[in-house]
């Protein structure tokens, strides 16, 4: 019992203490980043089976003054824990609306849809629908160009409230994609009920498609499931022509990945799509 008692004094574990300090530092840096406009959106193209550009996904970047670009994978978890994801997520949506408005004015980009990642905590805010509707009308964007990416856990965590919000937003034309599909647990019963437009196959299944027979089977199954439910299916993390060929052969609708382009800042994105295609 004595040993257990001593072990329970976790607070003085130096490794634990270091983690806490790093988190606190990250939190205060994130607050400063928001105040000092250190966030940017980068855009990664989405193409269909004919190679036609159909849209882009907005991916958040933190341009740190001495550490360069920091991936959202490294700071979103802390942002979620501290609630900072709420102002950050609002900034992301607002910036996406401004971008869509600009794209509308240019014939090369007018038809593109923009997919935006929304975290669970953000979507679960009681005023999420009102806030987004207000943004859409303030920026006067066409809401059918906007797509929200939600993960399975975001949706299933609170399925009734989430479904209701999705229905309200679908009514004004906003589309929904289920991100990282295949990594979580969703039952067929839920999938049929959810007002989704798209399933996005997680990149972990796409990654070793040609070497791993299990992944090939999963990818084929996800595509048929999506097609049977009347959803379009997009694959992310497409890096090779072999992966694209496999996906096309199995009727995947759209693709995203380094094979086409890395995520780019808005100027680079625009320059890239105005370039004549090379393959
Ligand atoms: P995600 O939504 O699954 O985004 C896909 C990630 O894969 C992105 O990482 C993208 O840069 C990367 N990627 C794209 N193509 C390829 C490829 O061909 N190969 C490989 N290996 N990777 C590829 P990123 O930009 O670091 O974002 C990581 C995650 O952070 C995202 O995963 C998403 O969950 C989250 N995130 C990004 N932006 C936002 C945001 O604005 N709000 C929220 N809440 N989360 C965001
Ligand atoms: Ca995503
Ligand atoms: Ca994803
Ligand atoms: Ca992911």
Contact 64, 9 (CB under 8 A): no
Answering whether pTM is above 0.90, one says: yes
Task: Give tens-digit pLDDT for 212-242.
Answer: 889 999 999 999 999 999 999 999 999 999 9
Task: Give tens-digit pLDDT for 13-43.
Answer: 888 888 888 888 889 999 999 999 999 999 9
Residues with CB under 6 A from ligand 1: 44, 59-60, 71-73, 76, 89, 92, 117, 119, 179-180, 203, 236-239, 257-258, 263
- Res 275 pLDDT > 60: yes
- Amino acid 190: pLDDT: 86
Q: How many CB atoms lie within 10 A of CB 159?
A: 13
Rg (CA), the chain: 20
Q: What is the mean pLDDT of the chain?
A: 92
Contact 41, 92 (CB under 8 A): yes
- Amino acid 22: pLDDT: 85
- Amino acid 2: pLDDT: 44
- Distance, CA of 36 to CA of 34 (rounded, Å): 6
Q: How many CB atoms lie within 10 A of CB 224?
A: 13
- Res 189 pLDDT > 90: no
- Measured in Å, residue 180 CA sits from the centre of ligand 4 at 5
DSSP run (H or E) holding 176: strand 175-181
User: Ligand 2 is a single-atom ion; what residues have CB below 5 A from it?
Assistant: 117, 149, 179
Contact 146, 140 (CB under 8 A): no
Ligand 1 pocket test target in 41, 62, 72 with most atoms within 8 Å of CB? 72
- Measured in Å, residue 59 CA sits from the centre of ligand 1 at 6
Q: Name which residue leads in pLDDT, 66 or 169.
A: 169
Task: Give tens-digit pLDDT for 104-129.
Answer: 999 999 999 999 999 999 999 999 99
Contact 182, 202 (CB under 8 A): yes
């Amino acid at each position: 019992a004595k040993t257990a008692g001593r072990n329970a004094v976790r607070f003085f574990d130096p490794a634990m203490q270091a983690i806490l300090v790093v988190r606190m530092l990250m939190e205060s840096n994130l607050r400063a980043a928001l105040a000092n406009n250190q966030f940017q959106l980068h855009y990664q193209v989405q193409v269909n089976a004919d190679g036609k550009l159909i849209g882009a996904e907005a991916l958040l970047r933190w341009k740190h003054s001495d550490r360069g670009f920091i991936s959202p994978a490294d700071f979103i978890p802390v942002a979620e824990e501290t609630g900072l994801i709420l102002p950050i997520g609002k900034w992301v949506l607002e910036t996406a609306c401004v971008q869509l408005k600009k794209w509308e004015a240019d014939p090369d980009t007018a038809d593109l849809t923009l997919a935006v990642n929304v975290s669970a905590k953000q979507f679960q805010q009681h005023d999420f629908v009102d806030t987004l509707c207000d943004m859409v009308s303030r920026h006067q964007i066409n809401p059918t160009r906007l797509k929200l990416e939600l993960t399975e856990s975001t949706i299933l965590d609170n399925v009734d409230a989430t479904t209701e919000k999705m229905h309200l937003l679908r009514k004004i034309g906003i589309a929904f994609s289920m991100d990282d599909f295949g990594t979580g647990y969703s039952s067929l019963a839920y999938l049929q009920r959810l007002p989704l437009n798209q399933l996005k196959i997680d990149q972990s299944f796409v990654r070793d498609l040609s070497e791993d027979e299990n992944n090939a089977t999963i990818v084929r199954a996800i595509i048929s499931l999506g097609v049977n439910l009347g959803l379009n299916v997009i694959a992310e993390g497409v890096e090779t022509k072999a992966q694209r060929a496999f996906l096309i052969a199995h009727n995947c609708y759209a693709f995203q990945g380094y094979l086409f382009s890395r995520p780019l800042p808005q100027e680079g994105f625009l320059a890239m799509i105005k370039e004549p295609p090379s393959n």
